[in-house]
Structure 1
């Protein structure tokens, strides 16, 4: 009976499929057990490493580094580096140097370089972070290669490590790269370069003369994020260009009254976004003669232009108390008066 059942090819296929599914289920169960056991071993190791090394690292932070340190076995290296990095995130200055002293004494620089060359993605990222905090220039070539890799997260952290090691050299070698890497979020790039603003400003100004338009917009946005001053002559050239995005980016950076005539000329631009930013720029650098110009912008057909013009007008640094209210009363345009009242009420509420 069994033989006749299994002789049927369909029943035989079903039988073998069931056996295969059972085998796969048992295999999956065994894999889950192994993974859980491995996870528990790692957790025990992490706790042991923290118990062993945290007191020593805390002593170093308290300006009492131990005269001798125990060996750092291979199996403890990764948990120790994670603990060391965790402490680094909460300290600066002399405390950071104390952690670095311990790191160098234990050979963390060599361990990090090995991770950079032989580790998996997570280990390479760990190596990058350790190298950056150690400011280890000996790993420059390895980090530079990672900074040009397509992996956005690792390459961005590699840029940070390069800036930590030698900001001037990093900007000289990486400025063209970071202005072309559109996968690097500008807020993150700006945060990395925050402590190297003066160095960045020098190389950024030089780069503006060589970039294509689409990369030039990114460069100007980075300059804005870092509060880098771009020479007025360069901005004036951009303000008279045909690229709308470049004109807007240049208007956002306009801080010098030398640019007043160039900014005023953009108030009549056919693109309403340009008129918005021209109005905002006048609010920063305009003089008394710009009050009628901004009043005229209150009649623009675009609501955002009227709104930003009203904000600029009310926020002019020389605008005295009561003058804005007088402008409302004197306005013959109901929509302009309503916009001024709206902005004044916002300022009072704020």
Structure 2
């Protein structure tokens, strides 16, 4: 694909990859010790590898900063090395404090106030990379001017599982000021917003200068900024790994970037984009983005489907045989087996809650 040139006034983009999630909605394959972002669910590469590889073709993009769980450090290093990605900085959270503190760690650890941070969850799918890169190019001039930019997904269905962004006035071609953020709606409200137009799904992908984000944090979350700054000041560096001070980090409030910053700041813009995006938040959503066979089945592993239709079957070992069934999700991982109807994938949470005791 053609390379994206950045405006001369814009510094190199630093990818910030958030990899702290546990991915429990894809149990039993995804588990806290090896969550979905470290698994190859949609292709040969893992979701983390695919996320990092999205920066190819963007001129001047810098080495990534990955904010992750300490337990995953070795796996992350191995996976980035396996696909020939440059060494980055792995910032290892002592424990989870949601996305705002995680991004603050990266903004401070970047050690460059003018750095343009491209914040990406590590467990999303984007199939149209040229569209994503074009959206980044649209955002860069505003980023240089201190705007906090979010990338909204052009909705194609009245989804109730996502938050929405309501577009305000146009700031440039394909870029709008954010009028408001909308909580996850019920079905009627989602259908009304889709019919009205001017809304986008909130994908949790952002682009802003480090100093603009930290200034907003100082204004709206000063206690968080103080705690995160202290945790980085007291951090220990071991090769590519940075260990923030746990005691200082524990003093930070836990909050998402949306609640802590984006819903409060004045200079917030959105670039709506259709780029083949999915958060792969459930087995149903994985089925939706996969290429089915002639009977509508999506299979991975040793699967024998006889008269089965519209099923998702994922096995990492034992052979699974389905006979004359339809619309099932069957997942086999180690000694665990999950079976449930398609369309009910969110019910996996009941299983993981029950297993916690």
TM-score bucket (shorter structure): under 0.3
The structure with the largest alpha-carbon Rg is 1
Higher relative strand content: 2
Higher relative helix content: 1
With normalisation by structure 2, the TM-score equals: 0.18
